[in-house]
């Protein structure tokens, strides 16, 4: 009987030890995510990239049951924030909002980049695409894109435009190439600074993406001259596409999602699945549409092909606009 009691007691102690070992498993054995997730936006607050990142952060937080923080790191046409993510641990806790600026245009704008778009990142998917709209202040004498071209040719030293990313710069540079318009660019770190000088009459025109333009148009303080997409935008059918006046003119942009290269396969799959699920969720899609973006419809492999095509396209259009790499 004594031996039986001893065996029972030993069994109980072993069970308790096993239970304690399981409950005190080190944090590295926990499933992803293990801590707060940060989505780095390599541009300032208020722009389309920032708005998209904040929208997806809410969805990702609910899906993964972990806090998701959006961290704006603007500077050098998105290179500051993009390099930061490149150098982060590839564990899925530091992610990147990508654009055609950081992943295509900068390869042509600059002689040397601190990152390589395909080698240094695991690209997860496409959030959506949109275009831009040319705006002037409500009291401007300009009413059409042809008015802007003609006026800038007549007084080339009096027309300035602000740019804060590749879309806001290249839309104007392409217009100059196609029409002979005389416009001088002024760089800004973020759309907020560009808008401030625009309303302060330091610049005469601004080509701004649909998401941040929405509030400006709704506020009634500006006039829209034309959109840069291939067709009129569904929300603003009264605003002509610039290519209605200058055939062949068209330039849009995309917003994507990436992480430092070397993500564990299960983490990459988790993030890919979460994004693909979001883009099938009517509530999330409605929010993307509300940002004036067309939601992404590409799987990961299709998205990688799309990105490479965009890289090739920008390699062609930037030299055509006469821009020399810095």
Candidates 3.30.565.10, 3.40.50.300, 3.40.190.10, 3.20.20.70; correct CATH number of 131-244? Answer: 3.40.190.10
pTM, rounded to two decimals: 0.79
13 band by pLDDT with thresholds 50, 70 and 90: very low
**pLDDT exceeding 70 applies to what percent of the chain?**
91
pLDDT at 319 over 60: yes
The 3-state DSSP class for residue 133 equals strand
What's the rounded mean pLDDT across residues 306-310?
Answer: 95
Confidence of residue 266 (pLDDT cuts 50, 70, 90): very high
Q: What is the pLDDT of residue 257?
A: 97
Residue 231 phi, psi (nearest 5): -135, 170
Residues of the chain with CATH 3.40.190.150: 35-130+253-320
Model pLDDT for residues 102-121, shown as the tens digit of each residue: 999 999 989 999 999 999 99
The pLDDT tens digits of the residues spanning 116-147 come to: 999 999 999 999 999 999 999 999 999 999 99
Confidence of residue 21 (pLDDT cuts 50, 70, 90): very low
Longest dimension (CA), the chain: 109
CATH number of the structural domain 35-130+253-320: 3.40.190.150
Report the percent of the chain where pLDDT is more than 90. 72
Q: Does the CA dihedral 117-119-120-125 come out positive or negative?
A: positive
Q: Which class for 101: exposed (0-12), middle (13-18), buried (19 or more C-beta within 10 A)? A: buried
Query: Residue 26 above 80 pLDDT?
Result: no
Which residue, 79, 87, 81, 166, is CA-closest to 120?
Answer: 87
What are the residue ranges of CATH 3.40.190.10 in the chain?
131-244
Buried b (16+ CB within 10 A) or exposed e, 187-201: ebbbbebbbeebeee
Q: How far apart are CA 190 and CA 193, in angstroms?
A: 6
Cβ atoms of residues 175 and 250 within 8 Å: no
**DSSP one-letter string for 148-216:** HHHHHHH-GGG-EEEESSHHHHHHHHHHHHHH----EEEE-SSHHHHHHHHHTTS-SEEEEEHHHHHHH
Distance, CA of 195 to CA of 162 (rounded, Å): 8
Q: List, for residues 164-183, the tens digit of each pLDDT value.
A: 888 899 999 999 999 999 99
């Amino acid at each position: 009987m004594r031996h039986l009691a001893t065996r029972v007691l030993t069994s109980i102690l072993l069970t308790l030890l096993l239970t304690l070992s399981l409950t005190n498993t080190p944090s590295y054995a926990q499933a992803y995510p293990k801590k707060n997730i940060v989505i780095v936006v390599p541009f300032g607050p208020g722009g389309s990239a920032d708005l998209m990142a904040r929208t997806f952060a809410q969805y990702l937080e609910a899906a993964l049951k972990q806090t998701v923080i959006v961290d704006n790191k603007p500077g050098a046409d998105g290179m500051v924030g993009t390099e930061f993510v490149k150098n982060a641990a590839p564990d899925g806790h530091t992610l990147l909002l990508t654009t055609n600026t950081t992943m295509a245009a900068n390869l042509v704008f600059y002689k040397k980049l601190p990152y390589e778009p395909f080698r240094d990142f695991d690209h997860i998917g496409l959030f959506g695409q949109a275009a831009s709209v040319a705006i002037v202040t409500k009291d401007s004498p300009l009413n059409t894109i042809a008015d802007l071209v003609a006026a800038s040719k007549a007084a080339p030293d009096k027309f300035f435009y602000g740019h804060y990313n590749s879309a806001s710069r290249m839309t104007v540079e392409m217009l100059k190439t196609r029409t002979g318009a005389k416009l001088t660019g002024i760089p800004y770190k973020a759309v907020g600074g560009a808008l401030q000088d625009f309303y302060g009459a330091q610049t005469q025109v601004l080509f701004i993406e649909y998401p941040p333009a929405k509030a400006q148009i709704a506020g009634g303080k500006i006039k829209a001259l034309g959109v840069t997409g291939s067709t009129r935008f569904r929300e603003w059918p009264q605003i002509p596409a610039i290519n209605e006046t200058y055939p062949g003119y068209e330039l849009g942009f995309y917003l994507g999602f990436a992480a430092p290269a070397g993500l564990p396969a299960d983490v990459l799959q988790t993030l890919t699945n979460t994004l693909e699920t979001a883009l099938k969720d009517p509530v999330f899609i409605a929010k993307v549409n509300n940002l004036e973006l067309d939601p992404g419809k590409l799987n990961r492999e299709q998205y990688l092909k799309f990105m490479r095509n965009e890289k090739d396209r920008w390699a062609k259009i930037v030299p055509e606009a006469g821009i020399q790499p810095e």
